[in-house]
Structure 1
C-alpha cells in the first residue's frame, strides 16, 4: 500500500482535500456507491488519480475520510436545561441520524477503512465529546452528571449494535428504555 502523504493544515493540501471531498459528495448524490472510482473523483475534483492514491491510499480510505468529516459535529448538543432532556434529545438525534439510509452508508464507509482505526476512532471521539458536554452542563447545574462510559456501554453501544447487525427494530421505545435503565445509576 502506498504511503500516505503528510497532511498540512491550510494551503494547497487543504484546498485539495476540500475539492476531493466536494467531488465525492456530489458524485454520491448522482451515482451508486459501487459505481464510484478514483479516476471519476479525480476528474470531478480537478486532481490526478495519483494525488488521491498518494493522499488516501485507496477508494475505501477516501470514502471513510469523507464520511468521518460529514459526521463531525458542527455544534454542541442542545441545552434543554436538564441532563435527562439533554440526553433524550441527543440519543434521539443519534439514533435517527445513524439508522437513516445516509447514516448507514456513512457507517459502511467508516468501517470499510482497513488500514487503521483512525476514522472509527474519530467518530467514537465525537460521541464521547458530546456526552462529556452534557455531563459538564449537568455538573454546572448541580445535577449528578452521567458517567460517560456507562452511557456509551449501556445506551449508545446497543443502539449501534442494532444499526449495524439488526436484531430488532430501533424504535423510540427501545432507546428510551435503554436510557431509563442507564439513568438510575447516575441519579
Structure 2
C-alpha cells in the first residue's frame, strides 16, 4: 500500500497544482492507479481498489474526480506533464526535431496510447486542453531559445497544426504509428516561412 508521506509533493512542480493535504491525496491516488495498473492491469482498476491502495475512502475519489474515467484522465494528464525542458541541440530545427522524435515515441508507446485512450474516454474537454497546453509550452521553450539565438522560428501554432495534428490523427483515428518519413515531411513543410 502506498504511504502518503513517501510521495513527493506535486505542488513542487511548475504550474498550478493543489497544495497541502489535497496535493498529498492526489499524489497518493495517482500513485495507487499506476501501481495497480502495473500489478493487475486495467482489470484491477476500480475505485474501491484504488482507494484502498491510496489509503483514502472511495467517497474521497468520487468527490474529487466524479468517476473512474475522469480519474484515469487526470492521471494521464499528469503523466504527460514534461519532466524537463526540451533538449538544446543548438538550433530551432534541431531542437524541434529532437523533441518531436521523443514526443512521437512517447505517444505511440503502449503507455502513451493508453494515456490517450484515458483522455479521450472522458467528457472533460479541459483534460485534452491541458495536453495541448503542455505541448504548446514545450514548443514555446524551443522557440524562445531560438529567438535568443537570433533565429526566426515559425510560430508555435504552425508546428501544432502542421506536425502535432497529423501525428495525433494517425495515432488516435488511424490507430497507426506515424513513420519517420511522414514526420520529417510534415516538419519540413511546417518550418517553411509563410
Calculate the TM-score normalised by the size of structure 2: 0.87
1:42 paired residue among 41, 51, 74: 51
**Equivalence for 1:3:** none
Moved more, 34-43 or 157-166: 34-43
Matching of residue 143 in structure 1 with residue 151 in structure 2: yes
> Offset of 1:34 from its aligned partner?
3.8
**Are 1:66 and 2:75 counterparts?**
yes
Map 1:31-180 onto structure 2 (within 5 A). 31-114=40-123, 116-166=124-174, 169-180=177-188
State the distance in 1 between where 2:77 and 2:33 align: 13
Q: 1:167 to 1:98 in 2, by over 3 A?
A: closer
Unmatched runs of 5 consecutive residues or more in structure 2: 1-16
CA distances 1:147-182 after superposition (whole Å, capped 9, x unpaired): 111111011100000010127541111101111111
**Which structure exhibits the higher relative contact order, with contacts defined as CA atoms closer than 8 Å and separated by 6 or more residues?**
1
In structure 2, relative to structure 1, the CA distance for the partners of 1:183 and 1:21 (3 Å cut) is same
- The separation in 2 between residues aligned to 1:143 and 1:76, in whole angstroms, is 19
Task: Decide whether the 8 Å contact of 2:36 with 2:44 is kept in 1.
Answer: no
Structure 1: any 5+ residue segments left out of the alignment?
1-7
Counterpart-to-counterpart distance in 1, 2:175 and 2:133: 26
Q: What's the C-alpha RMSD, in Å, of the aligned pairs?
A: 1.6
List structure 1 runs of 4+ shifted beyond 2 angstroms. Answer: none
Task: From 18, 27, 32, give the equivalent of 2:27.
Answer: 18
Q: Normalising by structure 1, what TM-score? A: 0.91
Q: SS of the counterpart of 1:73?
A: coil
Aligned residues: 179
Give the distance between the partners of 1:168 and 1:100, measured in 2 at CA: 11
